[in-house]
Every structure is written in structure tokens, then in C-alpha cells.
């Protein structure tokens, strides 16, 4: 039975992270075929179109964090009118820490078909380059900007055994690494991946404290993905009173309440909170 529906199709386009040679043939096809292209940055889209030698016949409109809520209704109307609407971000997959989720959810609720032209992913690219286990991982997106919320998140993740992946901005990466080191431990293995697939691609590997020091001395630029090793369990030999007291002090220095700091340190070292409390009393 041939459908007589005039409903359009929403197409999610996986954009290259930086190197246009990573664009798939299907990305070129979908960009040329679309009736409407909603782009996170229309200037970057036009540059990509030029690099791919694609001449679109589509109406190009902006679709970014600040206007996403308002533009979703208009794009949904175009889909109801039978248009093929493509959404593309500056790099990677729409809706993954980028604009797109609202429109995808609205299309799902409206019963509108959705398809995807997959492409590069900063998450899996950084994972592969990190040298850490990739069989099980969790993606945490951007850490909260406020110190208290950020510390609470990391405390919740203190015993996460899977490799963790975060996005971060160059302006906040040093503070984030310091907060991670305070909660996860100075020596927790991590990788700072920046400008993936671009000319100045760089991967810095090491313990969290060392990466924080390096980021302060030589601030990384560009788009950053952090990969952090999962918790491997307490090391009993490291649970000395001096080490536990120092760990509590490091957390307190970041603004963490002493009770929360002692709980976090107890989890990290695999000891009771009483042991940590006694270590702190001794140090005081």
C-alpha cells in the first residue's frame, strides 16, 4: 500500500569534528537533498558546504541553544508540510550535548519519521585515543559550571567503574581537572583531548593533578574532551592517616563541606568514615 501522507522527514546529520575529509558521501547527499537545513552556526555550515562542493537548494536557518525552543515549532510546521528538514551542528551528532533534542522529541511525539546520517563523534574518538578501557564507558557531557554542583556530580561518580567522558571549555578545564583530582584522586589516569581531527590535535595523558598543572601552565585551546579512568577499587596500602587527612584538606580547599569531604575520602580509600575522622583529628 502506497502512503499518501505528506509528512516530511527529519534528518540528523553527523558533521565532521574539524577535518572535512571525514564527511561521508551520504552527508553530501543529504545536504544537497534537504528542503530546510537548521544549523548551529550558519557561517560554519556555509564553509562546510563550500569545502564539500555542495550547492544546496535548501532554506538555511540558524538553530542554536539560545533560539532552539522558539525555532522548534517553526521547524515542526515545515515537517508537517512535507519538507525534508536536516539539522546539523558545528561537529558531531545533533542532540548529543548540542542543539537537536527538542526537535527530535517533538518529531517523535508527532509521529514524524526521523533518520540519521551518522558521522564523527568526539566521544568515541577521544575514547579510542585515550588508551583507556573502551568496552564500557559513560558520557557525562559538560560538568556543571558552579563549583558546588560540580563537586556533587564528581562525588556521585567517585565509585563509577566505567571510563568517563566529559566535554569542557578551555576557560573551565583547569578548575574541572582540579575538582576531579580532589574527588577522584591526584593520580587517577585521564586524557585531555583537544581539537580532534584538526591541525592542532593534541592528546595529553597523565594523572588528574598533573593534567591540571599542565593546563594551568599551558592553557589548552579549542574544543576539549576529557576521558577519565573509572574507579578500580581502594588501594589499602595508600590508606595512611596522612594520605586521608591530606585528601580531606584538598577537598575542603575547593569549598567542599568537611562531612562530605570525609565521606568522599572514605569511599576513595575503602575505609570507614570513622577512620577518616580520626585521621583528620590527628592532623589537626
Q: At 174, which helix (H) or strand (E)?
A: helix 173-184
Q: What is the spatial distance between Cα 209 and Cα 227, in angstroms, rounded to a whole number? A: 14
| Segment of 28-32, 236-240, 270-274 carrying the highest mean pLDDT | 28-32
Q: What is the spatial distance between Cα 42 and Cα 265, in angstroms, rounded to a whole number? A: 47
Give the tens place of pLDDT for each residue, 51-79: 999 999 999 999 999 999 899 999 999 99
Which CATH superfamily is 9-120 part of?
A: Tetrapyrrole methylase, N-terminal domain (3.40.1010.10)
Q: How is domain 123-228 classified at the architecture level of CATH?
A: 2-Layer Sandwich (3.30)
Q: Which of 160, 156, 128 is nearest to 143 (CA)?
A: 156
What separation, in Å, do the N-terminal and C-terminal C-alpha atoms of the chain show?
A: 80
The residues pairing with 139 across neighbouring beta strands, listed in sequence order, are: 165
Q: What is the spatial distance between Cα 259 and Cα 232, in angstroms, rounded to a whole number? A: 24
pTM score: 0.82
Q: At 214, which helix (H) or strand (E)?
A: helix 208-217
- CA–chain centroid gap for 118, Å, is 17
Domain ranges of the chain: 9-120, 123-228, 236-283
Give the tens place of pLDDT for each residue, 16-49: 999 999 999 999 999 999 999 999 999 999 999 9
Amino acid at each position: 500500500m502506497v502512503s499518501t501522507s505528506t509528512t516530511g522527514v527529519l534528518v540528523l546529520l553527523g558533521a565532521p569534528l574539524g577535518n572535512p575529509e571525514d564527511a561521508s558521501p551520504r552527508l553530501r547527499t543529504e545536504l544537497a537533498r534537504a528542503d530546510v537545513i537548521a544549523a548551529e552556526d550558519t557561517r560554519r555550515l556555509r564553509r562546510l558546504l563550500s569545502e564539500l562542493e555542495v550547492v544546496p537548494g535548501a532554506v538555511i536557518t540558524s538553530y542554536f541553544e539560545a533560539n532552539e525552543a522558539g525555532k522548534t515549532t517553526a521547524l515542526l510546521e515545515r515537517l508537517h508540510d512535507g519538507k525534508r528538514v536536516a539539522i546539523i551542528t558545528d561537529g558531531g551528532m545533533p542532540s548529543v550535548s548540542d542543539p537537536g533534542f527538542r526537535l527530535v522529541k517533538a518529531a517523535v511525539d508527532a509521529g514524524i519519521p526521523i533518520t540519521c546520517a551518522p558521522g564523527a563523534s568526539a566521544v568515541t574518538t577521544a575514547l579510542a585515543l585515550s588508551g583507556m578501557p573502551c568496552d564500557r564507558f559513560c558520557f557525562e557531557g559538560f560538568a556543571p559550571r558552579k563549583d558546588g554542583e560540580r563537586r556533587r556530580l564528581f562525588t556521585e561518580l567517585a565509585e563509577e567503574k566505567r571510563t568517563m567522558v566529559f566535554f569542557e571549555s578551555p576557560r573551565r578545564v583547569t578548575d574541572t581537572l582540579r575538582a576531579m583530582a580532589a574527588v577522584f584522586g591526584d593520580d587517577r589516569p585521564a586524557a585531555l583531548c583537544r581539537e580532534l581531527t584538526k591541525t592542532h590535535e593534541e592528546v595529553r595523558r597523565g594523572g588528574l593533578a598533573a593534567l591540571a598543572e599542565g593546563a594551568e601552565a599551558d592553557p589548552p585551546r579549542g574544543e576539549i574532551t576529557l576521558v577519565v579512568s573509572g574507579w578500580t577499587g581502594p588501594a589499602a596500602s595508600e590508606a595512611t592517616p596522612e594520605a586521608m587527612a591530606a585528601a580531606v584538606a584538598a577537598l575542603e580547599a575547593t569549598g567542599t563541606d568537611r562531612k562530605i569531604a570525609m565521606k568522599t575520602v572514605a569511599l576513595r580509600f575503602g575505609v570507614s568514615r570513622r577512620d577518616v575522622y580520626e585521621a583528620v583529628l590527628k592532623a589537626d
